[in-house]
Structure 1
Amino acid sequence: MQRTAIALLSAFSLATAAHAVEYTQVQPDKSQITFAYQQMGVAMQGAFKKFSGQLRFDPAAPAAAKSTIEVELASVDTGSSEGDTEVATKTWFDTKAFPRARFESGSVKALGGNKYEVAGKLTIKGKTVDVVVPATFAAQGKTGVFEGRLTIRRGDFSIGDGAWKAFDIVANDVVIQFRLTAAAQ
């Protein structure tokens, strides 16, 4: 009887391991990173056209997940070429000195119902801030889709220096939204 139980447990663990799916390849062409903020009380939006990511996510073992996302700040799309040029300057992103923003996860906590809390470090303009990102995950065939939303304060990263340091014209809060599609291994 004991041998039978051990054999069944062994077979179950091998079957589970054989069916484990790990998502590792971020597909930027099927993904997006956008942002929203208020300027003079008017809702504004933009996106980043170029970013890359590395991740390791197994829905059966979320606590072991790791991710790194790098965004090319000069790829910003504010909806106007004048705006794109302005936010690349030293006052805003200073893309010559700081070409990329980076998020690196530290831990992932499963909340149930395909919801997760991803704690990590966000670095923009050489300043690193601890953040917690609420995210969801949905398997879609051979790919997985991660979606989330995070509000940051631009002042924490010195985005908008000089006359733009005050938050009366451009609000301090910036909402970053992402939809990352990753291929399964």
Structure 2
Amino acid sequence: MTHTALTRSTLAAALALGLAGPAQAIEYGTLDTTASKVGFRYTQMGVTLDGQFKQFSAQLRFDPARPEAASTTFEVPLAGIDTGSPEGDDEVKAKTWFDTANHPVARFVSSAVKPLGGNRFEVTGELSIKGKTRPVSFPVTYTPGAPTATFEGALPLRRGDFAIGEGDWASFDIVANNVVVVFHLIAKPLAQ
């Protein structure tokens, strides 16, 4: 199911916002959620499927002149998942998948940004889903612009690490363990 995709999306967006870039006079601190997208990709019965998260938010600080000071907390309300079918959306909210009644939000908190060259960065932090917190790292590409900047990337994760898919769904023969959260985030400058 698309349960792991949720975690990816939450996490990927948060990480992207903590990236560094070339020196500019603009400090970014607002995510344009209308223009941004967070989705996920998973495999079910050998077929690759895509979903998205309709809601997400972020607290971020990113100054391209001081990337070492970048930080972000990215949150995704899991009840806003879109698997492509109403039945799938209801299923992944159940206790065996995301258990949204007890764990309504997936959260990523950045801890470090490492330059990889060419406006690419490795973002590290902690991803929390369904009461489990795991360290994660993933690459992000930063594209400066005026007045907005773009952060794009993908966060691979394993749904089993977060107990997403329990009981009959704990096996990976129907829904694969590997999920990728993909994101395209638009950040706006802080108000001057």
TM-score with structure 1 setting the length? 0.88
Consecutive unaligned residues in structure 2, runs of 5 or more: 1-22
- Is the radius of gyration larger for structure 1 or structure 2? 1
Pick one of 124, 149, 156 that aligns with 2:154: 149
String of CA shifts for 1:146-166, please: whole Å, max 9, x gaps. 111011000000000000001
1:113-152 equivalences in 2 (<5 Å): 113-152=118-157
Question: What is the aligned-residue identity percentage?
Answer: 56
Larger RCO (CA within 8 A; separation ≥ 6): 2
Distance 1:88 1:37 in 2: 16
Aligned length: 168
More helix by share: 1
TM-score with structure 2 setting the length? 0.85
> What is the RMSD computed on CA atoms of the aligned residues?
1.1
Distance 1:31 1:74 in 2: 18
Does residue 163 (structure 1) correspond to residue 168 (structure 2)? The answer is yes
Distance 2:69 2:114 in 1: 10
Q: Which residue of 1 aligns with 2:88?
A: 83
Local SS of the residue matching 2:144: strand
Distance 2:162 2:152 in 1: 23
Q: Which runs of 4+ in 1 moved over 2 A?
A: none
More strand by share: 1
Consecutive unaligned residues in structure 1, runs of 5 or more: 1-16
Does residue 43 (structure 1) correspond to residue 48 (structure 2)? The answer is yes
Q: Which residue of 1 aligns with 2:10?
A: none
Distance 1:51 1:26 in 2: 10
Distance 1:93 1:56 in 2: 29
